Amino acid sequence: MKNIKDVESEIISEFEAFDDWTDKYNYIIKDLGSSIPEIETEYKQPKYLIKGCQAQVWLHASYKDGKVFFTADSDAQITKGIISLLLRVLSERTPDEILNADLKFIDDIGLKEHLSPTRANGLTNMIKQIKLYAMAFKTKEKKA
Amino acid sequence: MSIDIKKIREEFPVLDQAINNKPFVYLDNAATTQKPKAVIKRLVDYYEKENSNIHRGEHFLSRKATEAYENSRNYVQSFINADNSHEVIFTSGTTESINLVASSFCKKFLNQGDEVLISAMEHHSNIVPWQIACDENKAHLKIIPINQKGELKLDEFHKMLNDKIKIIAINHISNSLGTINPVKEIIEAAHKKNIPVLLDGAQAMSHIKVDVKELDCDFYCFSGHKVYGPMGVGVLYGKEKWLNKMPPYQSGGEMISEVTFKKTTFNNLPFKFEAGTPNVADVLALKESLIFMSSLNYNDIQKHENDLKEYLTNNLKQLDKIKFIGTSSKKTSVVSFIFEDIHPSDTGIILDNMGIAVRTGHHCTQPIMDFYKIPGTVRASMAIYNTKEDIDRLIEGLKFVRKMFS
């Protein structure tokens, strides 16, 4: 499996191919949105909801063979596409890989405005939650 | 039309720029209005030529700033037609004004088992302070319900009135629906039972003439930044008879008369409620924003803004799957809507990329969104400087949104 940096570079070059913002958002809405590792219906409930100011995001994490597997969904299409990107980078990784990821690629592909930590939105909270899951699994493994 | 919108737009430098390489369209005026040159200049002038602390200093600048500050208070007094200038308290905004009353009034007058009455269409800042006050005093918060159009159910309100209610707090105009509430009827009915009424006027000041004497409200709260003034300043108007009976809200300098380690006696109105160094620059600039308002005529403002609202509403009706949220016949220039099949957040992101600023989300009125069972709305709110071209751009943007999500 490719490492995080490789996947990020891959995404950056995909986005470089777009001439204007509409192509970029079309890709996010139509292609990325549908390729999200979709959350199982049983987990699409308030317990797994990450509340944000705008869109709702559901996130579920499981731990297997030293790696964290995420599934997610959102009621907003653009948010869903961006989550799909994030999970492409962060799912099926070890807790350390997740905790060390700086996610600078988001900046490079011009989507920073959706992830700024100063803005109260579901995505920022989701990254926090992803890192919290990684931390929790790491701690649990140490104890075991 | 008797007002020259092009000329008015020239007073607002922020409008003259490109956002995302497109001429900026600003339709988020219910969140905050832009500032005319005179307001900006007043802030700069104060800090360049007049800055000093007020009320205490003997020196020239302090005297000058004190005079300008109190002049501003007098201007606000006459603008809202209050009886006395000491009934005008400067705060940081509507939120602080409401918090002041919720905290101070309730400490004195709210007891166990009493009730506070608000409505189902309040901004969070006119819900939470009362919730906290009710919790602290073991009192109950009661809610006037609304109908599907986004109007208060007045018959229910009249039935709810009882002697346990110690204060009623409602918005003059709803921020997420634009509904202009029948506040005079509410105040008259409340006063028959000697219940005071606080009006959250944040959304009213830039659209309709506010006359506190005619309304006969007991408290009126507004923010400078929603009436073309600066951020960080607002007003609490309160009837003297209530303000005099209420204990201080915050304590410190300015609000005292005499301090010893044994006892402090408090200053008179309005200073009793203005602890610490006030926000002098913004208070002075607030006056400029009200002078700007006075240079216009409310009939002209309403005609212009209402024309824009009608124009937008009619154009929206031509689009597929549009649902309006808030359809009262008595509304200001706030149009809240959703595409039934597109999330408001998606709509907002695409519009932003087209240089169009609207507000999407729950607008700090989550109970209203729960009532309509929607995640939020797209809200376009117009001000005096908006034009039909702005609306055309929005409609063009929405057609593009529809295309992208189909």
pLDDT for B46-64, tens place per residue? 999 999 999 877 898 989 9
Q: What is the structure's pLDDT at B56?
A: 79
Q: Residue A75: list chain B partners with CB under 8 A.
A: 343, 375
Can you tell me the mean pLDDT for B180-186? 98
The answer to whether B7 and B387 are in contact (CB under 8 A) is no
Please state, in angstroms and rounded to a whole number, the distance separating the CA atoms of residues B380 and B32.
12
pTM over 0.80: yes
Tell me whether B404 touches chain A (CB under 8 Å).
yes
Q: Which fold has domain A4-143?
A: Sufe protein. Chain: A (3.90.1010)
How many percent of chain B have pLDDT more than 70? 100
Rounded to an integer, the average pLDDT of A57-82 is 94
Chain A contact probe: residue of B21, B338, B345 with most A CBs at under 10 A: B345
The CA distance from B358 to B380, in Å, is 5
CA torsion, ordered B180, B186, B187, B188, to nearest 10 deg: 130
CA-based nearest residue to A36, from A93, A6, A75, A8: A75
For B338-389, write each residue's pLDDT tens digit.
Answer: 999 999 999 999 999 999 999 998 888 889 989 999 989 999 999 999 999 9
Starting from the edge strand earliest in sequence, which strands make up the sheet with B359-361, in order? B322-325, B334-339, B377-381, B359-361
CA distance B200 to chain A (A): 23
List the CATH code of the domain at B40-294: 3.40.640.10
CA angle at residue B160 from B156 to B161, to 5 degrees? Answer: 125
Is the CB of B343 less than 8 angstroms away from the CB of A29? no
Tokens of B93: 């905004």
Half-sphere exposure of B48 (CA within 13 A, CB side): 6
Q: Which of B346, B361, B362 sits opposite A78 (nearest CB)?
A: B346
CB contact under 8 A, A54 and B361: yes
* Whether residue A117 lies in the annotated active site: no
Cβ–Cβ of B343/A55 closer than 8 Å? yes
Q: How far apart are CA B236 and CA B102, in angstroms?
A: 12
Residue A26 has pLDDT above 80, yes or no: yes
- Residue B311 burial (C-beta neighbours within 10 Å; 0-12, 13-18, 19+): middle
C-alpha–C-alpha distance, residues A87 and B361, integer Å: 25
Domain ranges in chain B are: 5-30+297-404, 40-294
B5-30+297-404 domain in CATH 3.90.1150.10?
A: yes
Q: Is the ipTM of this complex over 0.95?
A: no
